[in-house]
Amino acid sequence: MEHAPQALERPHPGPLTYVKVAVILAIVTVIEVATYYLVNYLHGTIVPILLVLSAAKFLLVVGFYMHLKFDAPLLRGIFGWGLTVAIGITLAMLALYQL
Amino acid sequence: MSSTAVGHAPEAHATTTGISHNKMLMWTFLASDCMFFGSLIWVYTAYRGRSTQGPYPQEILNIPYTSVSAAVLLLSSLAMVLALHGIQHGNMRRFRVWLGATAALGALFLGGQYFEFTEFYRHGLSLQQNLFGTTFFVLTGFHGTHVGIGIIWLVTLILLSLFGRLSPANAERVEVAGLYWHFVDIVWIVIFTLVYLIPY
């Protein structure tokens, strides 16, 4: 006997969570912009700092606003696959260009 | 929470995965769009700082101005998710207000980008001027095009709801449009860091 497939979705968060995420995104953006003015003090650490902050904002939007944290794992797999290929191509080409 | 609250039940059809085809299709499209923007981003990065003639990015990029644009787009993502929450919970008025705010913030971002492009052009930066001009305008231009398509989509949804063609039973249509809109936002998060904030 066949069973209906389970998408394994969890309930999405409410407006309060969305606003909290927006506040965190705003704070991270302010920190990002501040690093631009502190470039003389941060020296070689500025690029890793900016990449980590950017990745954090990316994950917050994808996880909470796009609900990927709560939706079916298959959707995470589909998007993660595209993202992995995109990052892989970028890193491979940058290596090819010796950057 | 009822299944209606997550926006699937009324329009849901039996699928082999248990996930609606519309949502699956949008996520697949977004995965492919990741590769599209990934290609544009690596091309920009590969030619970064290799222009042999000005204007150079450090001469014309306006970080405070673009920071406000980035904040506007982030705010539009909040408005979008609140609009979705509104329709999923049957509050059409709240849905229209927040979706209108999303479209307005998107239009503000696009207007800002138009102003930035014309300013750069006034300072001598064009698509053909140097490697920075070519890669910058192609990357941010394609992003702007995505924003423009998103605004048309959002306005269409507002009009459909005003004419009674969109109801809480169709919340999934808004969710799919929201996925597209948030994707436009995350692409800008990456562009903002790589093009504007990382020092040249």
Chains A, B: CB contacts within 8 A come to 144
Residue A85 belongs to some domain of the structure: yes
The one-character DSSP state at B168 is G
Please give the Cα distance from B58 to B55 (Å, whole number): 8
Contact with chain B for residue A40, Cβ under 8 A:
no
Same domain, A58 and A80: no
Same domain, A27 and A61: yes
Same domain, A95 and A57: no
Chain B: give the shortest CA distance to residue A1, in Å: 15
Does residue B41 register a pLDDT over 90?
yes
Same domain, A38 and A77: no
In a 3-state reduction of DSSP, which class is residue B15? coil
Residue A90 belongs to some domain of the structure: yes
Beta strands in chain A, from DSSP E residues, in sequence order = none
Per-residue H/E/C for A2-24: CCCCCCCCCCCCCHHHHHHHHHH
Residue A4 belongs to some domain of the structure: no
Q: What value, to the nearest 5°, has the Cα angle with vertex B133 and ends B141 and B68?
A: 55
Chain A: give the shortest CA distance to residue B195, in Å: 12
CB atoms A72 and B32 under 8 Å = no
pLDDT range class, residue A6, cuts 50, 70, 90: low
Interface confidence (ipTM) of the complex: 0.90
Domains identified in chain A, total number: 2
Same domain, A18 and A62: yes
User: In this complex, which of A4, A26, A89 lies closest to B71 when CB atoms are compared?
Assistant: A26
State residue B169's pLDDT score: 94
CB atoms B46 and A82 under 8 Å = no
Domain carrying residue A76: 72-99
| Cβ atoms of residues B126 and B133 within 8 Å | yes
Same domain, A26 and A47: yes
Tell me: the pLDDT tens digits for B73-101?
999 999 999 999 999 999 999 999 999 99
Same domain, A82 and A38: no
Residue A92 belongs to some domain of the structure: yes
Structural domains for chain B: 3-197 (1.20.120.80)
Mutate to test the interface with B, among A2, A66, A76 (most CBs of B within 10 A): A66
Please give the Cα distance from B60 to B54 (Å, whole number): 10
Same domain, A76 and A55: no
Tell me: the pLDDT tens digits for B128-174?
999 999 999 999 999 999 999 999 999 999 999 999 999 999 999 99
Alpha-carbon distance values, B19 to A10, A74, B27, B173 (Å) = 13, 9, 11, 14
Residue A59 belongs to some domain of the structure: yes
Give chain B positions within 8 Å (CB) of A45.
none
Cis? peptide before B64, omega within 30° of 0: no
Please give the Cα distance from B57 to B52 (Å, whole number): 12
Contact with chain B for residue A51, Cβ under 8 A:
yes
Query: B191: closest CA among B148, B144, B128?
Result: B144
* Mean pLDDT, residues A79-93: 92
pLDDT range class, residue A93, cuts 50, 70, 90: confident
Query: B62: closest CA among B104, B109, B107, B117?
Result: B117
Q: Which residue of A has its CA nearest to B81?
A: A65
Cα within 13 Å of Cα(B102), Cβ side: 33
Residue A43 belongs to some domain of the structure: yes
Same domain, A24 and A45: yes
Same domain, A60 and A78: no
Same domain, A86 and A63: no
Tell me: the pLDDT tens digits for A48-66?
999 999 999 999 999 999 9
Residue A29 belongs to some domain of the structure: yes
Same domain, A60 and A93: no
Contact with chain A for residue B39, Cβ under 8 A:
yes
Mutate to test the interface with B, among A24, A33, A64, A81 (most CBs of B within 10 A): A33
Residue A49 belongs to some domain of the structure: yes
